[in-house]
Amino acid sequence: MFTTGSKFLIGSAVFAIIATIAYGISQDGVMGTIGLASAAAALSFLAGVNIFTHDSNVSGSDASAIDSCAAAEPAPANSIWPLAFALGAVVLAVGLITYQAVFIIGIVLLLAAGAEWTTQAWAEQASAEAAHNSEVRSRIANPLEFPLAAAIGVGLIVYAFSRVMLWLSKTNTVIALGVLGAIIVSVAFLLAYRPGLRSRTAVGVIGVGVLALVVGGAAAGLDGERDVHEQETTVDLAHEGICESPEEFEADHNASQSVAATAAVAATITLDDSGELNYELNGPRPEGATALTLQRSSPSNVLFSNKSGEERRLSLNLGPATAGSGADEEDAPHQVCTTLVEFDGEQNLTLIIGLPSIAAEDGYHFFVPGVESAELELIVP
């Protein structure tokens, strides 16, 4: 009547009860007594459950039960998911005291392993046939697993590749890509030439390649990127106060010279052959106006069109005003300029002038470094 399991549990419970009483009387310790009493209660409960379920034991005389009992089912194969799940928990715990990234990896691992484990456990109960069970599992899980795994794989490869490329110097990048191209072509050639080559071999070679890439990416990522040179701009020229110079600087190399025809700029300022600065509006120019008027504190786009024979830039000294506005006033420069614009080229200059021209002693003037006669007054009301 008493099964093996229940005998064990009943015995343990009785032992725990005796121990509780003995400890309680002899030691007079509250905590210990509570602990033992809890153990006794828990063991009694388990013993009760066990007796009620008959320990799931099968009676030797019940022939049909022998085939259908749990023990008669084929044992499922080993699973790595409990291991992965445990690993996830550990990584998560480590992440709690180290880096957030580790913590996130832990969560992902925990969730992924948990999901896999659950699906597997569920599938293993589908039928008595292992092959069928694994098929059931695949049908449910693969539509999610495959794209996800592919995305992770591709992401890993792309990321590793980019780390390697950013780590290599400009020249070495070219060499590396050349070599890579050569390898791919040779392997492709080999595969085409010898179709008999076993696919295991091909997969192996590619696997090694990917592994090398990921390892290389990790190493390169840890080592950091190569220095990327930052191209100087006209803002740098303004900061250094060299908008007055007709010389060529780095900022003047490869400058973009195109402006959309629909830009509706505030004005187009042209430097002509005779070295004069003139302006036009997107309507008629006010008759008799020698100066250009632009609103205060308003972003105004002025197009500089160079019709003189040489490369020229358009500059504007702002006197007490700065090329910034409002809060960024502090370190904003007191001049603005375009890059050198080639003959017949155009370039946009965006101005936000915080102070009216009466604030500057001689007002504001556009000028072209190197061309004395080129000057245009700017009025800011």
Partner 1 sequence: METTSTVNKMSRRIRIGLIAALGLAVAGCAQDAPQDTFDPAGENAQKIQDLQVPIFILAGVVGLIVLSVLTFVLIRFRDRGQAIPEQSHGNPMLEIVLTIIPALILIGISIPTVGTILALSETDDTECIINVTGQQWWWEVDYPVQDGCGGISDVIITSGQMVIPTGTEVLVRGTSRDVIHSWWIPRLNGKKDMVPGRVHNVRLQADEPGIYAGQCTEFCGLSHANMRMEVIAMDPDDFETWKAGQMAEYVAPEEGTLAAEGEATFIAQCSRCHQVNGLEDDDGNPIIARPDLQVYSGATPNLSWLMTRNTFAGASWDLLTPECRADVWDASPETVGEKYLEGVSPECLNSVDFREWLRNAPAKKPMYTDPTELEETGGLPRGMPDLGLGEDQIDQLVAYLLERQ
Smallest gap, in angstroms, from Cβ of residue 272 to partner 1?
22
Smallest gap, in angstroms, from Cβ of residue 112 to partner 1?
40
Distance, CA of 327 to chain centre: 31
Q: Which is nearer to partner 1, 162 or 293 (CB)?
A: 293
Smallest gap, in angstroms, from Cβ of residue 78 to partner 1?
58
Residue 347, H or E segment: strand 346-351
Applying CB under 8 A, the residues found at the interface with partner 1 are: 263-266, 281-284, 286-289, 291, 293, 295-301, 325-327, 329, 350, 352, 354-356, 358-359, 379, 381
CA atoms of 316 and 37, how far apart (whole Å): 90
Tell me the two tokens of residue 272. 């002509």
Helix or strand or coil: residue 379? strand
Q: What angle do CA 321, 375, 306 make, to 5 degrees?
A: 105
Smallest gap, in angstroms, from Cβ of residue 299 to partner 1?
5
List helix spans (H) across the chain. Answer: 4-27, 30-53, 63-68, 81-97, 100-124, 130-167, 170-193, 199-223, 234-239
Residue 301, H or E segment: strand 300-306
Q: Which is nearer to partner 1, 133 or 357 (CB)?
A: 357
Amino acid in position 368: V
Tell me the two tokens of residue 351. 């101005």
Smallest gap, in angstroms, from Cβ of residue 291 to partner 1?
6
Smallest gap, in angstroms, from Cβ of residue 245 to partner 1?
28
Q: Which is nearer to partner 1, 234 or 325 (CB)?
A: 325
- Nearest Cα to Cα of residue 368 among 337, 342, 347, 345: 337
Q: Which is nearer to partner 1, 300 or 315 (CB)?
A: 300
CA atoms of 22 and 16, how far apart (whole Å): 10
Smallest gap, in angstroms, from Cβ of residue 362 to partner 1?
14
Q: Which is nearer to partner 1, 142 or 295 (CB)?
A: 295
Q: Which is nearer to partner 1, 207 or 320 (CB)?
A: 320
Identify the bridge partners of residue 260 per DSSP, sorted by sequence position: none
Smallest gap, in angstroms, from Cβ of residue 378 to partner 1?
11
Residue 271, H or E segment: strand 267-271
Smallest gap, in angstroms, from Cβ of residue 338 to partner 1?
17
CA atoms of 259 and 267, how far apart (whole Å): 13
CA atoms of 101 and 94, how far apart (whole Å): 11
Under 8 Å between Cβ of 370 and 359? no
The set of residues, in sequence order, having a beta carbon less than 8 Å from that of 262 and lying 6+ positions away, is none
Q: Which is nearer to partner 1, 70 or 264 (CB)?
A: 264
Q: Which is nearer to partner 1, 217 or 354 (CB)?
A: 354
Tell me the two tokens of residue 189. 């050639």
Q: Which is nearer to partner 1, 237 or 266 (CB)?
A: 266
Q: For the chain, what is the radius of gyration of the CA atoms? A: 40
Backbone angles phi, psi at 195, to 5 degrees: -60, -20
Smallest gap, in angstroms, from Cβ of residue 264 to partner 1?
4
Q: Which is nearer to partner 1, 42 or 358 (CB)?
A: 358
